[in-house]
DNA sequence: CGTAACAAATGAAACGATTCAAAGACGAGT
DNA sequence: ACTCGTCTTTGAATCGTTTCATTTGTTACG
C-alpha cells in the first residue's frame, strides 16, 4: 500500500533539493524551465499531494475562515453561507461552517475548534454573549465579523440589515392598503424579531386609528405559524386582524396554510399577509407571499470583504455595514381594500 | 498584541518539560497531581490553545471527515449531513461539507482539497466518474463511503436507499387506489430518478390496464414542477393522468401549486399526487403531500459507521448497506376513487 | 582573462505538537 | 547499604513544508 509521497520523496526522485520542489509549487518563476518540468513529472509520477497541515504549521495560519450560523436549515443562513463561500474561494480561502443551532455551548464548541484550527478569521451570528471571547480572539490576531447583528464599532466589524426599517416597511405597506388592525407574529425575545416589531409599531403610531397586536409564536417554523393561523381562524371574524405581518417567511407560510385550508378566510381580501426574508419558496407559495427581502448574497460577500479589511489593518480598524431591506409585493397583499 | 502561546511557552512558565505539558493534555494519568495543577494553571494564564496543524502533522492524519453532497440546499442532503456531523462528533471527528452542485469540476476541487487536508475518510454522493479517484485514495489509506449510491463491494462501502423499491411503492399505492393512467415527473438522466421510474414501471406492469407516462422535467426544483403542472392543466380533462408521481417533493409541491392555483383540478379527487423524500415541508403543504420517506438520519449515521469499519480493517473490507424506503400516506392521495 | 551581475539551486533552520527511550526519584525488601 | 520496581519527568527526534542566506553556474563586459 503506497503511502503518500512527501516533498522530500519528490526531490529525491527528481534529483533536486527540497527547496527547489517547494519553489516549483510556490514560486514557479524562480525555477528554470527544465528543472520545473522534471519536478512536475516526478510529482505526477509519485502522485504527490501537498500536506496542508505542514504548510499551515510553517505559515502560522490556515487558509480557513470559520462561519458560525444559527441554523443551516434556514434558507436565509444557507444563502449567506453560500455567498461567503464563493467570495472566500475567490480569495483562495475555504469556509468551514458550524451550526450553533441557537445553542450557546455548541457555539462555544465551534469557537474552540476554529481557534485550534488557527482560522484566518471568524464570521458569526452570535447567540450567547461572545463579546469577551471576541476581544480575546482579536488580541490574538483573529479578526471577527458579526453577521446579521450590529457591532460596537470599536470592537469588531459587522454586516447587518436594518431590521427596524424592514418592520416599518412591512407595516407601512399594509397600512397603505387601508388595513388598520394589524397583528405581528414572531418571537420578540430574538433581537432581530424585536427590532422588526419595533419598526412595525413605529409605522402604526404614525396612523391615528391603527393598532398592532403581538402574537408570540412558539418558534420560527412553519409549524409554529400554523398554530397561530389556527388560533386566528377560531376567532370571530370581526375580531380577526385585517393584516398579519410575520417575522419570517416560514411562519407566514404556516399561517397561510391554516387560513387557506379552512377556506373561511381569503388572502388577501379578508386578511393581508406579509412575511420576512423573501426565501425562494415565498414566490411559489399557494398565494404568492409578499415579503421583505434581505440581501443575503451581499451579506455573505461583504462579510468576507470586511474580514479582509480587518486582516489588512491588523485588526485595528472596524467597520459596520448596514443594508437596507426591500419590500417585495406579491399577491398576498394585493390591492384590494385600498 | 499577545500572540498565541505554544506548548513550549507553557512548559517554561510552569517550569516543566514540553513532554510533560503534552502528557497533561493527552495522558493526564501519567502526570502527578501537583504537576498537573501547575501546568493547567499556566495553560489558563497564558490562554494556550493547541495548534491543530502541528498535531496533525505529527499524527499524520487529521480528525476530519470530508463530505461531498450534490446540493446542501436540498433538505434531503442537509439532513444527511446533519446526521453525519452528529455521529462524527460522537467519535471526536469533524465533518467538512463540500457542495459539488452536481458539477464534476467542483467535485474534483473538493476532493483535492480534502486530500491536502489528509482527511480520515471521504463520504461522497458522486456526480462524475470517481471510481478511479477512489481507488487512488484507498491505496493511500483514505477510505471512501458512497452516499445514496450503491457501490461495487470490492471497491468501497456504501449506504443507499432502494430507489426502485421506493418507486414501486409509490406507484403501487396509487394503483391500489384504483388509478390507472399514471404520470411520472422527473429527470431520468439522474441515476436515482431512473431507478424510481423503473420501480414505478414494474408496478404498472403488474396491473393489466395500467399505464405510465414519463414527463421529463427541467430540473428537480419547485419551479420545474410548476411548469409541468401548468402543462397538465392545459390538457383536456380526459387526457390528464389520474395520478402523478414526482421524483422528489420539490417537484411535487410545484405541481401541486399549479393544480390548486387554477382551481380546475382537485387533489386528490381528480389527480392523486405523490412525491419522494418526505421533506419537512411535505406534511405542511396546502394539501398534505404523500411521499416516500428516506431514512436520512440513518443514512448519515451509517455512513460514518461504515467509514469507521473501513478504517479499522485498513480499507480491506467493504460493506454496502441498503435501506428500504417507506410509504407515507397523506391527504394528497387520500381514499377517494378506490 | 578577470570579474561583476544576475539567475538558479541548495540545504539547514524553523514552525508546534507528540512520542519514546532514558534518566531520576522514591520506597520496599533484603 | 544495595538492589529492584514503580511512578514521574525529561528532552531530543520527528512529522512535511517554507524560508532564506549561501553557493554554484552562466553571461556580459572591460
The answer, for A75 touching chain B at a CB cutoff of 8 Å, is: yes
**A2: pLDDT strictly greater than 70:** no
Among candidates B51, B60, B52, which has minimal Cα distance to B9? B51
Tally C-beta pairs within 8 A across A and B.
109
pLDDT single digits (tens) A213-233: 999 999 888 889 999 999 999
Chain B CB contacts of A223 below 8 Å = 284
Where do you find CATH 3.40.50.2300 in chain A? Answer: 63-161+296-323, 163-294+327-333
CA A183 vs CA A58, A157, A207, B65, B213: distances in Å: 58, 35, 15, 47, 47
A106 — pLDDT class (breaks 50, 70, 90): very high
pLDDT single digits (tens) B121-177: 999 999 988 999 999 999 888 999 999 999 887 889 999 999 999 999 999 999 999
pLDDT single digits (tens) B230-272: 999 999 999 999 999 999 999 999 999 889 877 789 999 999 9
Cα–Cα distance for residue pair A185/A225, rounded to 1 Å: 8
Chain B CB contacts of A1 below 8 Å = 139-141
Where do you find CATH 3.40.50.2300 in chain B? Answer: 62-161+296-323, 163-294+327-333
Cα–Cα distance for residue pair A142/A163, rounded to 1 Å: 28
Among candidates A330, A184, A249, which has minimal Cα distance to A257? A249
Q: Are A50 and B116 in contact (CB < 8 Å)?
A: yes
Per CATH, domain A63-161+296-323 is 3.40.50.2300 = yes
Cα–Cα distance for residue pair B104/B124, rounded to 1 Å: 12
Q: Are A73 and B72 in contact (CB < 8 Å)?
A: no
Q: Does residue B24 contact residue B31 with C-beta atoms inside 8 Å?
A: yes
* DSSP three-state, residue A216: strand
Compute the average pLDDT of residues A106-133. Answer: 94
Question: Rounded to a whole number, what is the distance in Å from the CA of B303 to chain A's nearest CA?
Answer: 20
Scanning residues 33 through 62 of protein chain B, those with a beta carbon under 7 Å from any atom of strand C turn out to be 48, 50-51, 54-55, 57-59
Q: Which of A58, A82, A117, A225 to mutate to test the interface with B (most CBs of B within 10 A)?
A: A117
Distance from residue B43's CA to nucleotide D9's C1', rounded to whole Å: 18
DSSP 3-state percent helix, strand, coil across chain A (nearest 5): 50, 15, 35
- The answer for residues whose C-beta is within 8 angstroms of residue A317's C-beta and 6 or more apart is A309, A310
**B71: pLDDT strictly greater than 90:** no
Give me the residues paired with residue B98 across strands: B68
Per-residue model confidence (pLDDT) at position A1: 45
Cα–Cα distance for residue pair B165/B149, rounded to 1 Å: 14
Distance from residue A20's CA to nucleotide D17's C1', rounded to whole Å: 12
pLDDT single digits (tens) A23-79: 999 999 999 999 999 999 999 999 999 999 999 999 998 999 999 999 888 889 989
Distance from residue A16's CA to nucleotide C9's C1', rounded to whole Å: 8
Per-residue model confidence (pLDDT) at position B337: 46
A338 — pLDDT class (breaks 50, 70, 90): very low
pLDDT single digits (tens) B277-307: 998 778 777 788 999 999 999 999 999 999 9
The answer, for A316 touching chain B at a CB cutoff of 8 Å, is: no
Nucleic acid strand C within 7 Å of A140 CB: no
Percent of chain B scored above 90 by pLDDT? 79
Distance from residue B48's CA to nucleotide C17's C1', rounded to whole Å: 13
Give the architecture (CATH level 2) of B163-294+327-333.
3-Layer(aba) Sandwich (3.40)
Compute the average pLDDT of residues A91-98. Answer: 92
Q: Are B96 and A99 in contact (CB < 8 Å)?
A: no
Nucleic acid strand C within 7 Å of B30 CB: no
Chain C footprint bases within 7 A of protein beta carbons = 7-21
Distance from residue B48's CA to nucleotide D22's C1', rounded to whole Å: 37
Chain A CB contacts of B117 below 8 Å = 52-53
The answer, for A22 touching chain B at a CB cutoff of 8 Å, is: no
Chain B CB contacts of A280 below 8 Å = 222
Cα–Cα distance for residue pair A115/B318, rounded to 1 Å: 36
Q: Are A116 and B82 in contact (CB < 8 Å)?
A: no
User: H-helix or E-strand containing A236?
Assistant: none
Q: Are B57 and A54 in contact (CB < 8 Å)?
A: yes
A281 — pLDDT class (breaks 50, 70, 90): confident
Give me the residues paired with residue B122 across strands: B66, B144
Per-residue model confidence (pLDDT) at position B284: 73
Per-residue model confidence (pLDDT) at position A336: 52
Chain B CB contacts of A96 below 8 Å = 96
Per CATH, domain B62-161+296-323 is 3.30.360.10 = no
Q: How far is CA B317 from the centre of its chain?
A: 23
pLDDT single digits (tens) B110-123: 999 999 999 999 99
More confidently predicted of A235 and A74: A235
DSSP state of A264: S
Q: Does residue B122 contact residue B130 with C-beta atoms inside 8 Å?
A: no
Amino acid at each position: 500500500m503506497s503511502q503518500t509521497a512527501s516533498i522530500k520523496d519528490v526531490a529525491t526522485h527528481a534529483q533536486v533539493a527540497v527547496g527547489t520542489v517547494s519553489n516549483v509549487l510556490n514560486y514557479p518563476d524562480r525555477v528554470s524551465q527544465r528543472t520545473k518540468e522534471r519536478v512536475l513529472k516526478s510529482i505526477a509520477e509519485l502522485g504527490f499531494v501537498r500536506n496542508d497541515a505542514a504548510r499551515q504549521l510553517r505559515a502560522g495560519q490556515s487558509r480557513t475562515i470559520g462561519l458560525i450560523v444559527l441554523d443551516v436549515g434556514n434558507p436565509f443562513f444557507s444563502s449567506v453561507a453560500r455567498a461567503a463561500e464563493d467570495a472566500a474561494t475567490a480569495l483562495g480561502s475555504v469556509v468551514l461552517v458550524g451550526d450553533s443551532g441557537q445553542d450557546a455551548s455548541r457555539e462555544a464548541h465551534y469557537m474552540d475548534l476554529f481557534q485550534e484550527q488557527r482560522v484566518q478569521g471568524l464570521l458569526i451570528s452570535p447567540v450567547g454573549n461572545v463579546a469577551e471571547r471576541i476581544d480575546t480572539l482579536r488580541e490574538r490576531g483573529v479578526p471577527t465579523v458579526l453577521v446579521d447583528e450590529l457591532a460596537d464599532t470599536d470592537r469588531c466589524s459587522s454586516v447587518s440589515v436594518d431590521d427596524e426599517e424592514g418592520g416599518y416597511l412591512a407595516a407601512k405597506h399594509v397600512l397603505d392598503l387601508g388595513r388598520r388592525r394589524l397583528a405581528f407574529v414572531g418571537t420578540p425575545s430574538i433581537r432581530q424579531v424585536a427590532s422588526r416589531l419595533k419598526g412595525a409599531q413605529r409605522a402604526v403610531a404614525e396612523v391615528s386609528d391603527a393598532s398592532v397586536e403581538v402574537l408570540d409564536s412558539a418558534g420560527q417554523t412553519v409549524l409554529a405559524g400554523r398554530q397561530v393561523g389556527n388560533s386566528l381562524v377560531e376567532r370571530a371574524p370581526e375580531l380577526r386582524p385585517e393584516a398579519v405581518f410575520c417575522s419570517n417567511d416560514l411562519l407566514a407560510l404556516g399561517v397561510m396554510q391554516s387560513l387557506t385550508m379552512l377556506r373561511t378566510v381569503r388572502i388577501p381580501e379578508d386578511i393581508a399577509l406579509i412575511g420576512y426574508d423573501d426565501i425562494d419558496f415565498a414566490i411559489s407559495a399557494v398565494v404568492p407571499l409578499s415579503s421583505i427581502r434581505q440581501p443575503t448574497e451581499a451579506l455573505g460577500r461583504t462579510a468576507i470583504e470586511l474580514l479582509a479589511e480587518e486582516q489588512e489593518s491588523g485588526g485595528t480598524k472596524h467597520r459596520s455595514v448596514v443594508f437596507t431591506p426591500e419590500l417585495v409585493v406579491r399577491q398576498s397583499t394585493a390591492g384590494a381594500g385600498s
